[in-house]
């Protein structure tokens, strides 16, 4: 079976940006920044992306391009009969788990988009936005319908192929998403009191730097925002030809991903401060806090449509990259067709999502890891165990299994002055940072 390739380097960059830009930028970045002091967190986050995120992004893409295989096959190709491929299985399992609950949350976004389009959420419901959200996510069948619809869209794009499905979709989604977010940011800045939110995001309160958890949060956000460790970038990199140079592309992806996060912050924080809402509202910021704000805005119904359309496009662009990880593996390992691999793995992920969705309602008393419900347990296992260890294996693989010359050649950095800096970051600094993130996630560190 001939391996597929991207039609253009731009197509790869847009798809990779689509993978990185998702709920993590629009939803997670905003509430994590809000909980960790705004401006000071942003400064540490930017440094983390530059010093750790982009070097690791280059590492992951280069492994895939060199091996021309999936997340497990890449290790098996480059290090045959050695156990490095076990790190690939962590990425594979992580993709299943993450998309299992991610698609449920993305389905919530689809539900909100539809209800803004029909006008049902343009004005505050009689029971309030908080109760409306709670009743929806705890019901049995409604969330499953939207979860199924979201997975149907994801499966359809992936089974259409790399060029005609993934690349084509991202060439439409990413420019539209950027335009929508910029329009929302401009509107948000016109609100009375908006500058208070801008100062919160861009004027650092250096006193928060005395709290070590802020550094850990920024490092973790940089790591997870760029989709590192789960195998999406390795899989996407495997569809690149050797003619495409990597350093410029990965720097561009890292910068654009960060810009999307910052623009999302400009959308959210001015509106939050303009209406006197606390910026550390947490995960409910998007589905409860912002909807309440939209109802008080001029043209709030239209703003709600634009915002949840942007959220949905970002969710789909990330979900197709997550589904592509197991699809690419089963196409190679089981010799399945792309159509069969997409449908079968998509159905398995949908079933995983049923448990995550019901865990918010009829199965809310079921706990799997500690006191976490089903969805939070899936998130904890994937985000705090599989991804950091998968990312660590990736860094150690290219930093220690490869010689320096092999690593520089794989990343197109031979002869570059930055090559040595990149190599030692990946070989020593990045593994230490990943271990710190990992230990903090397990609550082993004393802060």
109 neighbors 304 (Cβ within 8 angstroms): no
Question: Is residue 388 in some structural domain?
Answer: yes
Q: What is the pLDDT of residue 298?
A: 83
Number of compact structural domains in the chain = 1
Question: Is residue 243 in some structural domain?
Answer: yes
Collapsed DSSP state (helix, strand, coil) of residue 147: helix
Question: Is residue 2 in some structural domain?
Answer: no
Question: Is residue 416 in some structural domain?
Answer: yes
Question: Is residue 160 in some structural domain?
Answer: yes
236 neighbors 5 (Cβ within 8 angstroms): no
Q: Which of 419, 129, 184 is nearest to 299 (CA)?
A: 184
Mean pLDDT of each 10-residue bin along the chain, 447 residues long: 84 90 74 83 90 92 96 97 94 94 94 95 90 94 97 98 96 93 91 90 85 82 81 95 86 89 87 78 72 86 93 94 97 96 98 96 90 89 85 94 95 92 95 86 71
Question: Is residue 3 in some structural domain?
Answer: no
Token reading at 428: 């020593």
What's 429's domain CATH number?
Answer: 1.20.1740.10
- Domain range for 171 is 9-442
Question: Is residue 246 in some structural domain?
Answer: yes
Q: What is the pLDDT of residue 397?
A: 96
Question: Is residue 1 in some structural domain?
Answer: no
CB count within 10 Å of CB 210 equals 7
């Amino acid at each position: 079976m001939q391996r597929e390739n991207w039609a253009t380097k731009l197509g790869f960059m847009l798809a990779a940006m689509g993978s990185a830009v998702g709920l993590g930028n629009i939803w997670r970045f905003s509430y994590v920044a809000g909980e960790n002091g705004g401006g000071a967190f942003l400064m540490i986050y930017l440094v983390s992306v530059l010093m750790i995120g982009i070097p690791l992004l280059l590492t992951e893409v280069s492994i895939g391009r060199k091996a021309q295989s999936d997340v497990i096959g890449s290790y098996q190709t480059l290090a045959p009969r050695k156990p490095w491929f076990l790190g690939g299985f962590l990425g594979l399992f992580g993709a299943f788990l993450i998309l299992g609950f991610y698609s449920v949350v993305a389905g919530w976004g689809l539900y909100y988009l539809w209800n803004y389009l029909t006008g049902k959420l343009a004005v505050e419901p009689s029971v309030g936005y908080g109760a409306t959200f709670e009743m929806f996510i705890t019901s049995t069948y409604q969330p499953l319908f939207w979860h199924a619809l979201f997975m149907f869209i994801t499966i359809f794009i992936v089974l259409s192929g790399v060029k005609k499905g993934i690349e084509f979709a991202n060439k439409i989604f990413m420019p539209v998403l950027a335009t929508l977010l910029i329009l929302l940011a401009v509107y948000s800045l016109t609100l009375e009191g908006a500058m208070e939110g801008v100062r919160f995001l861009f004027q650092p309160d250096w006193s928060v730097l005395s709290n070590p958890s802020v550094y850990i949060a920024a490092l973790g956000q940089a790591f997870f925002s760029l989709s590192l460790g789960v195998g999406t970038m390795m899989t996407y990199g495997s569809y690149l030809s050797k003619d495409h140079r990597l350093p410029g592309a990965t720097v561009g992806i890292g910068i654009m991903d960060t810009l999307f996060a910052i623009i999302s912050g400009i959308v959210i924080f001015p509106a939050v401060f303009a209406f006197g809402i606390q910026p550390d509202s947490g995960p409910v910021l998007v589905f409860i806090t912002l909807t309440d704000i939209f109802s008080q805005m001029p043209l709030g119904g239209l703003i709600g449509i634009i915002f949840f359309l942007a959220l949905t496009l970002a969710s789909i662009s990330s979900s197709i990259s997550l589904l592509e990880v197991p699809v690419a593996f089963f196409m190679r390992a089981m010799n399945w067709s792309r159509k069969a691999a997409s449908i079968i793995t998509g159905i398995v992920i949908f079933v995983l999502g049923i448990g995550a969705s019901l865990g918010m309602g009829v199965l809310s008393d079921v706990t799997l890891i500690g006191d976490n419900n089903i969805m939070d347990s899936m998130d904890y296992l994937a985000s705090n165990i599989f991804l950091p260890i998968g990312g660590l294996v990736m860094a150690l693989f290219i930093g220690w299994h490869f010689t320096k010359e092999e690593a520089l050649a794989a990343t197109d950095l031979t002869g570059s002055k930055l090559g040595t800096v990149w190599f030692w970051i990946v070989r020593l600094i990045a593994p230490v940072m990943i271990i710190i993130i990992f230990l903090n996630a397990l609550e082993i560190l004393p802060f």
